[in-house]
Each structure stands twice: as structure tokens, then as C-alpha cells.
């Protein structure tokens, strides 16, 4: 299919313009990420959040810019296919020795699918899989940083080496007491080397850029001894007076790392020359984490999306089960389905929403976009948004097809789009997110196993009680973290939250989300007369942004065991004054800390804690 001669000058020019477009994108993306260091050093938290939000837009802006240049300068859309084939070969040539070839391939796909008719990108014209390897890429420029640095401590000088390792990041802000912190870190790391043979290769490898997010900077590395590798992260935060730095904890082991890099958190800002090398290093720390999620965590969401789709197609080819309506209570706004063998759910916005839902497709998309751009503080699932997704028809249950036909007919096409004789289900617009156990199901399982029955003391009932307690406490913690992030979930029912593999409660129903600062928290007014008191109806006027926290109880706390746990840990969530106090703080410009790790891991819990919503 490809030409044997590259004889078109315009083809080279188009390829070059496209590569220039990508290089400009990565340059801007990287500069913005690199500036995170300075924002951290000057404690510019509002700037850090703004940059995190704005950087998400960069990719689409650059794709549009490049598309317009190609149309303007080369009438790209009118070029015949044999010229496009030459464009691709030239582009591949330009990828040799490129430091971000996989990202540049994705950029080519984004631009060409905007220009060319669908039939071209069906026939493998775009990069369906990587053409250029990302292995062993190095930047040999003299000023280039290596991807990671290695340190060779002994058992005796570990603290000194750790101290040097931190200083090598050259942060222009003093530490309160770095020798103290290095000793504390040593206190956690040193026992990992107790009772094991110390091998000749004992070393610490650390990625050469810090990972910035909100008010923290994270040093990411691993301790290697023999064939054992122990991943760790050191969060660097400000002290209480916000004048000097300190190391706040040592996060280590699988769970800590997965929570830090979780899919429900904002993307990190990292100054990287060779992102694939960062991903490879991170994967050595978290081998079970899909590469798409690591690219996402690094802010390279388009690459994450590309890799997710490749993983998905690969999974489809190597599985035989059928898509089905997702377990749990059906949504009023979203039609949700999943493939049992695959850990994600697919969400389609319905065409009709029954009362009391008063919304529109555009409003719902707006809310999902808000979440994408907002700091998700580990409590709101990230979503991947796709349009025109095709699935094999024979993998859909008839029940699911009937459900889509009934509830979202405008989104559905069943056809043989690419003419290969296979019927496809093509969905116009889909959100995809990690599958969790809906919290209502999680609690129901605990009830079914006797967790809410105080007279049952069997081991199964005790473990169910622990499950119930964990779910309810974590639910309240999730609400409080959302408050800290200025988010009011709107619909707080258990079914709108899920439990992750690591036991975190995460919110996933965004259509009624509001900023806390837009809400009006009110006490339920006192009845004016007996008639008011007896009335089953709401007798007082309610504004569109009014929220009455005292009324949450009847919806949430019908079960006495649930009520008991909730009231013990989170009674303040039913108090309008609590919500109002936090709203005031946010309005005064305060940015709460949200820690991607358990409080018990912190070296010092500062008095600042008492100012925060109570879970934190
Ligand atoms: N990430 C997920 N993991 C597992 N199940 C999910 C997930 N997202 C949604 N579900 C299931 O699909 C149902 C509906 O999803 P969702 O709450 O997003 O829809 P909705 O239409 O916005 O709901 P509502 O009617 O409350 O507004 C949930 O109650 C849950 O059972």
C-alpha cells in the first residue's frame, strides 16, 4: 500500500509541519510542567491549581492549530491518498531519534483524523500500534538530565545519602531540619534491610524530576538490594508557617504507591525529557498498573486514552464474554454497561431524564468536564471520553441493545461501518471509567452477612461489621475531601459512590455536582404553625442552590447500624454550620490539604490539622 518512492515535496512539508506542531505542543507542555517547581518554591498554590487545570487544554489547542496550518498552507484535506502515504513515511522518518515518538504518533493520529475521512483511518492509515520503539531512548545533549539517578549507600551512611539525594533536586526553599527528616526516613527504610543479606548492588534509584501536585512535591524512587526492589515516595510539604519544607512521610509498598498514583487524583506536573522512560520506571514500581493510567497520571492524557483503547481492543480479541447492563441500581441520566472480564464501565447519556432530573446533554457534559479539570482529590473517578466507539454486535446481550434502543436511541447505530461483514454497535458518545463496587452493594453485602445485627457475633458477622464500618467512615471521609476541593456532590446517595480495590470510597455520579461556594447551606426553618409541622410536604421556599444538611439523614441513615457509625464519625455533615464554615474558608482563599496517604503515615501531624474538615 505504501509508495516505494518519496517524490512529493509537499508530503515532506506536511510531515514536517505536523512534527513542528507536535514539538511545539511538547515544548509548551513541558515548560508548564517545569514551572511547577517554581510555583512550589514560592507556595503559589492558586497558580499551581490553575496551571494543572489549564494544561489539560493544551493538547486540543495544538491539534487545532496544526490542523488549521495544514489546511491553510497545504490544503491538506484535498491531498490525494498517495501523498498522505508519503506524509506518513516521512513522519516515521522524523520519529527516528525523537525523544517522545509515542506521543508524536498519537499527535499524528489526532491531526489526521481531523483532516481525513473516516474510511482512511479505518484502514490502518493511522498508528494503530507504535511503529517506533520507545526502548532505551536517551538524550545525549550535555545539559540533559538522566531519567533517574542512582545512589549507593551503606547501612551506616543511609541518612547522609538520603539527605544528599534530596538536596540534589536543588529546591530553592530551605528545609526546616533536613537531617531530622533524613533520620526519620531512615527509620522507615533501614528496617527493610534488617535480617536480609546486603548485596553488592545495594542502591537507591530516584527519578530526576520531582512530581508536583497541589501543595506537595513527591520524590519517587526505589531501594534495590539483590533482586528485591522496594518502591517508595517521599512527600515534601511546607511546615505549618508555610516558610520551610519538610519530608512528611515515607510511602512504600504496593498499596501506598497505587493510592498516590490513583485514577481519582489530579495529574502530576513533572519535567520530563523522555516520558516513556518515566513510565517504564514507574511501571517497575507498580507492575500491575496499566501504562495508560501512568501516562494519565503524568498529565499525558491523550496518550493514556490511546493506550487504553489499544488495551481495550486487545482485550476484546482475547475474551469471549458479553457486555451487559452494569450491576447496581440503574441511573436516571446515565445508561451504564460493562464487560465482566474487563475492569471498566461504559456510560452513555440517555436521551430522556425522568423528573426530578432537570438537565440536558450539554449540562451533563459540562459537569463531567468540570470534574476532568478539577482537582479530584482521590475522590472522583477520572473519565475517558470517546466519540464514535464501535463494539462487535455479537458481544452485546440483546437485553442491553434493547435498553440502549429504548433509552439512548440517538446515540446508537448498528451497522457494518467498515464493510468487513461484521455488524458493529457504534455509540456516538461514551464515558469510560474504572469499575468499582457500588457502595450500596458493598453495604448490602455486609447487611446480608449479618453486619448490622448486634446479636450476631459469628466471625462472618464481625468481618461484615468491619466492612460496614469501613464503608460508612470512608463515605464521610470522601464527602469531607470533596468539601476541601470545593465540590458538593449534589446527589449523596450511597449508590453514587464506589469502593476501589484499595478500599477508598470514590464518587462517580457527576450530573448534580456544584461548587460548595455556589451552594447556600440552610437550616430547616422552624414550622410556623401546627399545619406546617404536620405537613409531609416541604412548606418553606427552597432556592435553586439551597442545601439543607439536616435532611440528609432520612435518605442515608435508615439502617440503625449505619446511623450509629455515621453519627460517631461524621455527625457534623448533618450540620449546616459545618458546611458554611468550610465554604467561608474556601471563599477566603484557603486551600485545604488533601493527603494521598493515611494520616498515620505522617511524621508530624501539625496543629493545622484541626482547621480542616474532620476526616483529614
Ligand atoms: N465506576 C463505576 N463502577 C461500578 N458501577 C458503576 C460505576 N459508575 C456507575 N455505576 C453503576 O451505574 C449506576 C448509574 O451510574 P450513575 O450514578 O453514574 O448514573 P446517573 O444516571 O447519573 O445516576 P442518578 O440517577 O443517581 O443521577 C450506579 O448506581 C452504579 O450501579
Give the tens place of pLDDT for each residue, 80-126. 888 999 999 999 999 999 999 999 999 999 999 888 876 555 556 78
Tens digits of residue pLDDT in 394-447: 999 999 999 999 999 999 999 988 788 899 999 999 999 999 999 999 999 999
**Are residues 428 and 451 both part of a single domain?**
no
332 C-alpha to center of ligand 1: Å? 9
Give whole-number Cα distances, 262 to 49, 307, 347, 379, 600, in Å: 18, 17, 20, 10, 19
Q: Indicate whether 135 belongs to any domain.
A: no
Q: Does any domain span residue 183?
A: yes
> What is the span of the domain harbouring residue 334?
324-435
Q: Is residue 176 part of a domain?
A: yes
Protein residue with its CA nearest to atom 15 in ligand 1: 331
Q: What's the complex ipTM? A: 0.93
Q: What is the pTM of this model?
A: 0.92
Last residue of a domain, one of 263, 298, 333: 298
pLDDT at 119: 57
- What is the model's pLDDT at position 453? 92
- The alpha carbon of 499 and the centre of ligand 1 are apart by a number of angstroms equal to 13
Ligand 1 lined by 407 (C-beta under 6 Å) = no
Domain limit, last residue, from 435, 452, 475: 435
Does 98 sit in the ligand 1 pocket, CB within 6 Å?
no
**Atom 20 in ligand 1: residue holding the nearest Cα:** 331
**b (16+ CB within 10 A) / e for 358-373:** eeeeeebbebbeebbe
Give yes or no for residue 324 CB within 6 A of ligand 1.
no
DSSP secondary structure of 435-475: --EEHHHHHHHHHHTTTT-TT--SHHHHHHHHHHHHHHHHH
Task: Report CA(474)–ligand 1 centroid distance (Å).
Answer: 18
Using a 6 Å cutoff on CB, does residue 334 contact ligand 1? yes
Is 306 within a domain? no
- Report residue 500's pLDDT band, with 50, 70 and 90 as the boundaries: very high
Instruction: Give the per-residue pLDDT at 459.
Output: 93
55 and 28, same domain (yes or no): yes
**pLDDT of 269 over the 80 cut:** yes
Give the total number of structural domains in the chain.
4
Which of 330, 331, 360, 512 has most ligand 1 atoms within 8 Å of CB, for mutation?
331
Q: In this structure, are residues 184 and 159 in contact, taking their beta carbons and an 8 Å threshold? A: no
The verdict on whether residue 329 carries a ligand-binding annotation is yes
Q: Is the Cβ–Cβ distance between 216 and 167 less than 8 Å?
A: no
Whether residues 457 and 420 share a domain: the answer is no
Report the separation in Å between the CA atom of 497 and the middle of ligand 1, taken as the mean of its atom positions.
Answer: 8
Q: Are residues 281 and 341 in the same domain?
A: no
Tens of pLDDT, residue by residue over 513-535, are: 999 999 999 999 888 787 777 77
- Write down the pLDDT at residue 610: 37
pLDDT over 60 (residue 546): yes
Report the Cα 579 to chain-centroid distance in Å: 26
- Cα(480) to centroid(ligand 1), Å: 21
The answer to the question of residue 316 being in a domain is: no
State whether the beta carbon of 298 lies less than 6 angstroms from ligand 1.
Answer: no
526 is in an annotated binding site: no
CB 6 within 8 Å of CB 90? yes
Which atom of ligand 1 is found nearest the CA of 364? 22
Specify the DSSP class assigned to residue 614.
T
Return phi, psi of residue 547, to 5°.
-130, 135
Residue 367 CB–ligand 1 contact under 6 Å: no
Q: Are residues 115 and 157 in the same domain?
A: no
Q: Which of 375, 382, 491, 509 is catalytic?
A: 382
Q: Tell me whether residue 127 is in a domain.
A: no
511 C-beta closer than 6 A to ligand 1: yes
Instruction: Clarify whether residues 428 and 450 are in a common domain.
Output: no
* 233 in the same domain as 168: yes
Together in a domain, 340 and 206: no
| Residue 169 confidence class, pLDDT cut points 50, 70, 90 | very high
Residues 447 and 353 in one domain: no
- Ligand 1: centre distance to CA 101 (Å): 37
509 catalytic per annotation: no
451 with 376, same domain: the answer is no
Residues 162 and 258 in one domain: yes
**Any domain includes 313:** no
User: Does residue 143 belong to any structural domain of this protein?
Assistant: no
179 belongs to an annotated ligand binding site: no
Measured between alpha carbons, how far is 262 from 345 in angstroms, rounded to an integer?
17
Residues 419, 448, single domain; the answer is no
Go through 190-208 and write b for each residue having 16 or more CB atoms within 10 A of its CB, e for each that does not. eeebeeeeeeeebbbbbbb
* Residue from 328, 353, 499, 556 whose mutation best tests the ligand 1 pocket (most atoms within 8 A of CB): 328
Question: Which residue among 323, 326, 342, 351 is best mutated to probe the pocket of ligand 1, counting the most ligand atoms within 8 A of its Cβ?
Answer: 326
Is 330 part of any known ligand binding site?
Answer: yes
Amino acid at each position: 500500500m505504501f509508495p516505494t518512492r518519496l517524490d512529493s515535496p509537499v508530503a515532506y512539508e506536511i510531515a514536517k509541519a505536523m512534527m513542528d506542531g507536535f514539538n511545539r505542543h511538547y515544548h509548551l507542555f513541558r515548560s508548564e510542567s517545569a514551572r511547577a517547581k517554581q510555583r512550589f518554591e514560592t507556595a503559589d498554590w492558586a497558580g499551581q491549581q490553575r496551571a494543572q487545570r489549564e494544561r489539560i487544554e493544551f493538547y486540543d489547542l495544538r491539534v487545532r492549530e496544526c490542523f488549521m496550518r495544514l489546511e491553510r498552507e497545504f490544503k491538506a484535506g484535498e491531498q490525494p491518498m498517495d501523498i498522505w502515504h508519503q506524509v506518513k513515511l516521512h513522519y516515521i522518518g522524523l520519529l527516528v531519534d525523537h525523544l517522545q515518538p509515542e506521543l508524536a504518533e498519537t499527535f499524528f493520529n489526532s491531526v489526521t483524523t481531523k483532516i481525513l475521512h473516516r474510511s482512511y483511518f479505518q484502514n490502518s492509515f493511522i498508528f494503530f500500534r507504535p511503529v517506533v520503539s520507545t526502548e532505551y531512548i536517551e538524550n545525549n545533549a550535555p545539559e540533559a538530565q538522566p531519567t533517574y539517578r542512582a545512589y549507593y549507600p551503606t547501612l551506616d551512611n543511609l541518612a547522609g545519602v538520603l539527605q544528599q539525594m534530596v538536596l540534589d533536586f536543588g529546591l530553592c526553599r530551605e528545609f526546616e531540619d533536613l537531617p531530622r527528616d533524613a533520620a526519620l526516613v531512615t527509620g522507615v527504610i533501614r528496617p527493610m534491610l534488617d535480617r536480609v543479606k546486603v548485596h553488592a548492588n545495594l542502591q537507591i534509584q530516584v527519578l530526576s524530576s520531582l512530581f508536583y501536585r497541589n501543595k506537595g512535591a513527591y520524590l519517587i524512587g526505589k531501594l534495590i538490594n539483590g533482586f528485591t526492589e522496594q518502591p517508595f515516595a517521599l512527600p515534601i510539604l511546607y511546615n505549618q508557617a508555610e516558610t520551610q519544607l519538610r519530608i512528611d512521610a515515607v510511602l512504600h509498598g504496593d498499596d501506598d504507591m497505587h493510592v498516590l498514583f490513583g485514577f481519582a487524583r489530579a495529574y502530576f506536573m513533572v519535567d520530563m525529557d523522555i516520558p516513556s522512560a518515566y513510565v517504564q520506571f514507574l511501571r517497575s514500581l507498580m507492575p500491575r498498573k496499566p501504562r495508560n493510567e501512568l501516562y494519565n497520571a503524568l498529565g499525558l492524557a491523550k496518550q493514556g486514552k490511546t493506550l487504553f483503547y489499544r488495551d481495550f481492543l486487545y482485550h476484546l480479541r482475547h475474551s469471549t464474554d458479553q457486555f451487559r447492563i452494569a450491576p447496581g441500581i440503574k441511573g436516571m441520566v446515565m445508561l451504564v454497561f460493562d464487560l465482566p472480564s474487563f475492569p471498566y464501565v461504559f456510560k452513555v447519556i440517555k436521551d430522556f431524564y425522568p423528573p426530578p432530573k432537570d438537565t440536558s446533554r450539554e449540562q451533563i457534559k459540562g459537569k463531567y468536564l468540570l470534574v476532568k479539570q478539577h482537582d479530584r482529590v482521590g475522590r472522583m473517578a477520572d473519565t475517558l471520553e470517546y466519540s464514535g466507539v464501535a463494539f462487535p454486535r455479537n458481544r452485546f446481550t440483546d437485553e442491553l441493545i434493547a435498553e440502549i434502543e429504548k433509552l439512548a436511541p440517538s446515540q446508537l447505530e448498528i451497522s457494518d461501518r467498515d464493510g468487513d461483514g461484521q455488524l458493529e454497535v457504534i455509540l456516538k458518545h461514551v464515558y469510560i471509567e474504572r469499575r468499582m463496587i457500588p457502595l450500596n452493594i458493598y453495604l448490602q453485602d455486609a447487611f446480608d452477612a449479618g453486619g448490622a445485627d448486634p446479636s450476631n457475633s459469628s466471625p462472618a458477622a464481625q468481618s461484615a461489621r468491619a466492612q460496614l464500618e469501613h464503608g460508612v467512615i470512608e463515605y464521610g471521609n470522601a464527602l469531607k475531601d470533596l468539601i476541601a476541593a470545593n465540590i458538593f456532590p449534589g446527589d449523596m446517595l450511597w449508590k453514587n459512590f464506589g469502593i476501589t480495590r484499595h478500599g477508598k470510597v470514590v464518587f462517580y455520579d457527576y450530573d448534580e455536582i456544584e461548587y460548595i461556594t455556589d451552594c447556600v447551606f440552610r437550616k430547616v426553618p422552624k414550622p410556623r404553625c401546627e399545619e406546617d409541622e404536620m405537613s409531609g410536604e416541604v412548606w418553606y421556599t427552597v432556592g435553586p442552590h439551597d442545601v439543607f444538611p439536616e435532611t440528609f439523614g432520612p435518605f442515608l441513615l435508615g439502617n440503625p447500624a449505619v446511623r450509629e457509625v455515621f453519627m460517631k464519625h461524621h455527625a457534623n455533615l448533618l450540620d449546616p454550620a459545618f458546611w458554611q464554615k468550610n465554604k467561608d474558608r474556601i471563599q477566603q482563599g484557603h486551600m485545604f490539604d488533601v493527603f494521598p496517604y493515611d494520616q498515620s503515615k505522617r511524621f508530624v501531624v501539625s496543629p493545622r490539622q484541626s482547621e480542616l474538615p474532620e476526616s483529614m
